A and B are shown apart, each in its own frame.
Chain A
Amino acid sequence: MRTIPISLLLLASLAATGCVTVRPQERAVLADPVMVFEGDPVIAAQLHHAIDNREGSFGGSGVTGGGCGCN
């Protein structure tokens, strides 16, 4: 279990030492709505809410709570 936080720390360290790979003037595509992670956050949250209540797992899509509504 201890390997997970160590791996994350290692990845974060790599990011911190990483060079600037994309210059500001090259970022137009990355800012396009189709390139944004969770581009439709409300629709995505609704879908995750439906799926999470029918699976034994969760994660990777936000941390807010609010009950189940699933019975």
Chain B
Amino acid sequence: MQLIHRAVRAIGVILVAAAVLVVAAPARAQAVQFDTTHGLYYEAPLRTHMFVYTPSATLTANPSDWLSVNAGWEADVVSGASVATKAGRAYQATQPSADVISTASVHDFRNVGRGGFTVKKDNTSFGAGGLYSTENDYRSVSFNVMARTELYEHNTQLELDYAHNFDDVCDLVQDPNALPAGRLALPSSQGCFNPSDKTRTQHDIAIDNLQGTWSQALTPVFQMQGIYTLQIVNGFQSDPYRSVQLGAGLKAQEYTPQNRYRHSLAVRGNYFMRGLKAALRVGLRGYWDTWNITSGTVELEFEKYLTSAFRLGVNGRLYKQTGAIFWSDDYTGGAPPQLGPKGQYFTGDRELSPFFSFMVGVKATYAVAAAEKKVLGFMTDTKLVVAANFMQFNYDEYTLGGQSLGDVRAYLLNLGFSAGF
């Protein structure tokens, strides 16, 4: 806890330092940059209708050539409904009312405050930062460090990033003698992180993230990037609200392993087509973890200048994953329902099931930089970005209300505005 308090204090110091530097920043080419984004996410799988609004604001100050300081805030405003009890198709056939979308709406508000700085000397940069986030049922304190260097006349860039999260998730106080199949789901977030509420407790989650990035310019119009990411998660990783039907009349809070090692390897390439004044970007990513999920992602993006200030892009993304080794749509043992549970772990999380998804989208960017006169008399540069994406998920095994989910659709709209002063 002492470490967490120190981390929170450090974030506060960074935020105050950023504010002071912003105010005290002397006039120069671009001393301060302001970024704000607003994202909307809407998903309509049957009756859940999840809606998330994500605003953010970031202030970056460059008080000198070697120092950059930033501070920001973002939030998630979440509303919708969630699956309170997950039952499989076989169980559902005889108990049609078992799979229930909670009638009580889900409302959550995630608030994140963050700050950081980067120092640069010649071709080498070092950075550090931290963040603190709160939700009704989740707390996160995180710090991150970064080192980057450029070699061979800037043709090669190597970067190493590390972050550690000290997270806590709320749960119902359980019977200490209860087996996993006897644990009860958290009915609501009411009373979470309130020490006087003796029906609530919290579990620690420690997350270590390590990422290495190698960027390489190969020709005057082509560059590539390779990224390896490792994440080690230790702690409570289930959804505390969700129950899984394990047998006739037997349901329990979902139960997943405490440890998870996650690896990903990504390769990206950017190619500029001079004749078209356009860029073609391709990305491939492979992922595997110790829960036996493997996935592959292919991304393609084409962005073209229509004028010197305005560019238009289209993008596509294909994604396919296998399920976790303990994933089952029905833990009651199949048809007809038998006594459960089937296996040591059980989950109703569709993100742990095998599925395929695709995304298509468009992006428009208007960016101007002041040559001699400032933009609108006070900005050195400004940028407006609008992006719209459509996603569809096709679940191989996951069912809801006894029905397959072959066409869950999600709509994303993002708006970004940046200005330099």
Contacts and interface: CB of A to CB of B under 8 A. Distances in A.
B140 A67 contact: yes
Interface string B189-219: 0000000000000000001011110111111
B162 A63 contact: yes
B156 interface: yes
Chain A interface SS verdict (over half): loop
A19 B29 CA distance: 34
Contacts of B56: 42, 46
Contact of A59 (B163, B167, B274, B287): B287
B274 to A, nearest CB: 7
B37 A65 contact: no
Contacts of B35: 42
Given A37-B215, A43-B385, A71-B82, A66 B270 contact: no
B86 interface: no
A11 B414 contact: no
Interface in B348-374: 351-352, 357, 359, 365, 367
B77 to A, nearest CB: 9
B268 to A, nearest CB: 6
Contacts of B264: 57-60
Given A8-B228, A55-B351, A71-B241, A65 B272 contact: no
B147 interface: no
A45 to B, nearest CB: 9
Contact of B112 (A29, A57, A67): A67
B138 interface: yes
B393 interface: yes
A65 B223 contact: no
Given A27-B154, A42-B37, A35 B270 contact: yes
Contacts of A66: 110, 112, 114, 131, 133, 140, 142, 165
A15 B76 CA distance: 41
Nearest to B138: A67
B76 A64 contact: no
B365 A4 contact: no
A40 to B, nearest CB: 6
- SS class of chain B's interface: helix, strand, loop or mixed? strand
B367 A56 contact: no
Interface in A20-71: 20-24, 26-27, 29-30, 32-35, 37, 40, 42-43, 46-47, 49-51, 53-60, 62-71
B19 interface: no
A69 B214 contact: no
Contacts of B142: 64-66
13 contacts: A18-B155, A43-B37, A56-B291, A57-B293, A57-B297, A58-B231, A59-B262, A60-B266, A65-B207, A66-B165, A67-B139, A70-B76, A70-B78
Interface of B: 35, 37, 39, 41, 43, 52, 54, 56, 58, 75-76, 78, 80, 82, 106, 108, 110, 112, 114, 129, 131, 133-135, 138-140, 142, 144, 151-156, 158, 161-163, 165, 167, 207, 209-212, 214-221, 223, 225-229, 231, 239, 241, 262-266, 268, 270, 272, 274, 278-279, 283, 285, 287, 289, 291, 293, 295, 297, 303, 305, 311, 319, 321, 323-324, 351-352, 357, 359, 365, 367, 385, 387, 389, 391, 393, 410, 412, 414, 416
